[in-house]
Amino acid sequence: MDPTLLVAVGVAGIAVCAFMFATWQFVSPERTAADKLAEFTGGAERDSLPTRLNQLTRNAARLAQGTESEASATRRWLSQAGFRQKNALETYSAARTLGLVFCGLVGFLLVLWLHKAPEDVAGMDSEAAASATARLRGLAWYFGGLFGGAAAGYYAPYVYVANAVQKRREVIIKAFPDALDLLVSAVEAGLGLDAGFRRVADEMEMASPELAGELQLVSHEVLAGVPRVEALRHLEERVGIDDVTSLVNVLIQAERFGSSVARSLRVHSGHIRIKRMQRAETKAAQVSPKLTVVMIIFILPTLLIVLLGPAAIKMKNILIPTAQSRGVAQ
Q: What is the 3-state secondary structure (H, E, C) of 265-295?
A: HHHHHHHHHHHHHHHHHHHHHCHHHHHHHHH
**Listed residue (198, 252, 200) closest to 220, CA to CA:** 198
Taking 50 as the threshold, does the pLDDT of residue 120 lie above it? no
pLDDT per residue as tens digits for the range 172-217: 998 898 899 999 998 888 888 888 899 999 988 888 898 899 999 9
Q: Is the whole model's pTM more than 0.75, yes or no?
A: no
Q: Is 51 helix (H, G, I), strand (E, B) or coil?
A: helix
By residue count, the chain amounts to 330
The CA-to-CA distance between both ends of the chain, in Å, stands at 58
Name all domains of the chain by residue range, CATH numbers in brackets.
Answer: 3-24+45-121+128-166 (no CATH), 167-285 (1.20.81)
- How confident is the model at residue 194, as a pLDDT? 86
- Helix/strand/coil (H/E/C) assignment for every residue in 67-120: CHHHHHHHHHHHHHCCCCCCCHHHHHHHHHHHHHHHHHHHHHHHHHHHCCCHHH
Count helices and strands in the chain by DSSP H and E runs: 14, 0
- How confident is the model at residue 27, as a pLDDT? 46
Buried-exposed string 14-24: b where 16+ CB fall within 10 A, e elsewhere: eeeeeeeeeee
The average confidence (pLDDT) of the chain is: 76
> Comparing 260 with 126, which gets the higher pLDDT?
260
pLDDT per residue as tens digits for the range 215-260: 999 989 988 888 988 999 999 888 888 888 888 998 888 888 887 8
Cα(150)–Cα(143) distance, integer angstroms: 10
Contact 81, 165 (CB under 8 A): yes
